[in-house]
A and B are shown apart, each in its own frame.
Chain A
């Protein structure tokens, strides 16, 4: 299962949120598939794209920048497909488990899941292992200080698992992954 090809099939211009994080690795991943992307750092640039990737990085940093530059509402109103990886999933989620993430920021709430940041621990607990998609295919997932999905809303479908745990979820045109398909 190639989530880039699946989610962005027929999408004319893919944008990558480039406020902070590994947006270059997503550009390379798209390039490997013969797809191109533009970087989005300003509110006005959201109107020029048809699909969006929110990359890995620090969700607190990116969310604070989004609020500082007034990008929250334009993101909530964005109508194309959105892929969030790691920090991107955290930002899309409805809720961040707050008792652990004392200084968590307000997520966008576009994906009806509850997540736990740094769900496996610190960097020395980061790992790579196979994830299994619903269509039976597997690919390597790189989990770096990865979040965990704790609760899933009724309209959300689990589309890939690691062991029995959900690591990729989809709600309509919005997909969130706890790992990094762009690293590897």
Chain B
């Protein structure tokens, strides 16, 4: 039996999956709940849209079980825009993922924003032709997801909060742990893999590369151009923006501004210029006051 890490067909497929993630770098991926928003996002310069029925801020306030979006609604968005369309499935819900793949979505987000369907296992992502993105809070979690076949990693942050603090924590944590891997002796990496609960061969690869073996994006709480710049300066390669755009009082200019902020993240004068005319950002919530049970980022294993 060939292993999936040496199987040429699977590795060939991984190249195409990671390839699409590479094309999305330096961009902004926006949450949209209908065709009209998808059009606004595309016209503002989004590199992709995430189709979902309720944005995280509303999932948070409405409560109830959050599931994969209705195919009909995703189809309307696919028919409206020409940029990649992503959609979310519940953690471990491989049947939802199969339906999304059958619809021809371009990326599946196995997301903690939806109510988990499996308290132990994530989706076996090697089984799919469609690429997956998964969230993480630390390097061990990131490498476990890559070990399951994820083609892109993002921070979890705290979706729907409009508060960047958790995304910063998660990005700093991942980067710090990667830096640590690069200075360990090779004979110390097995113990480190054990500590992190991460697959050894991917720990070795990450230590050698000095970065994740798949693109590393930021998500969860980005609401302003400055937030996007902060995440890019901390090492993110693209930003997902969820509630931050369509919960603000004037989505279109904000979407355009965040698109530019990702390109010119290291140019404060340019960031000032693009931030100047913006209206109010979304209100946001203080994550420190959230009980652990209400934190979406603690979902995932």
- Residue pair B45, A121 in contact (C-beta under 8 Å): no
Residues facing B in A53-79 (CB within 8 A) are: 56-58, 60-61, 64-65, 68
Report the stretch among A19-27, A148-156, A164-172 that lies at the interface: A19-27
Closest to B16 in A: A126
Closest to A55 in B: B23
Residues facing A in B207-230 (CB within 8 A) are: none
- Residue pair A123, B263 in contact (C-beta under 8 Å): no
Assuming A41-B263, A121-B104, is B82 touching A101 (CB within 8 A)? Answer: yes
- Residue pair B260, A65 in contact (C-beta under 8 Å): yes
CB of B43 closer than 8 Å to a CB of A? yes
A residues less than 8 Å from B179 (CB atoms) = none
Number of interface residues of A (CB under 8 A): 39
Among candidates B12, B39, B47, B78, residue contacting A58 with C-beta atoms closer than 8 Å: B47
What is the distance, in angstroms, from A149's C-beta to the closest C-beta of chain B?
A: 17
Number of interface residues of B (CB under 8 A): 41
The 7 closest A-B pairs by CB, nearest first: A123-B106, A122-B104, A20-B26, A22-B22, A58-B47, A64-B45, A126-B16
* Chain B interface residues toward A at CB < 8 A: 12, 15-17, 19-20, 22-27, 39, 42-48, 78, 80-85, 101, 104-107, 129-131, 256, 259-260, 262-264
**29 interchain pairs (CB within 8 A)?**
A20-B262, A21-B25, A21-B26, A23-B26, A25-B22, A58-B27, A58-B47, A58-B84, A60-B42, A61-B27, A61-B46, A65-B259, A65-B260, A65-B263, A100-B82, A102-B80, A103-B39, A103-B81, A104-B82, A118-B82, A121-B104, A122-B105, A123-B16, A123-B20, A126-B20, A128-B15, A145-B20, A183-B22, A184-B15
Since A23-B25, A103-B81, A123-B131 are in contact, a sample of 7 more A-B pairs with Cβ atoms closer than 8 Å, ordered by chain A residue number, is A41-B264, A57-B23, A61-B47, A102-B80, A121-B104, A124-B101, A128-B12
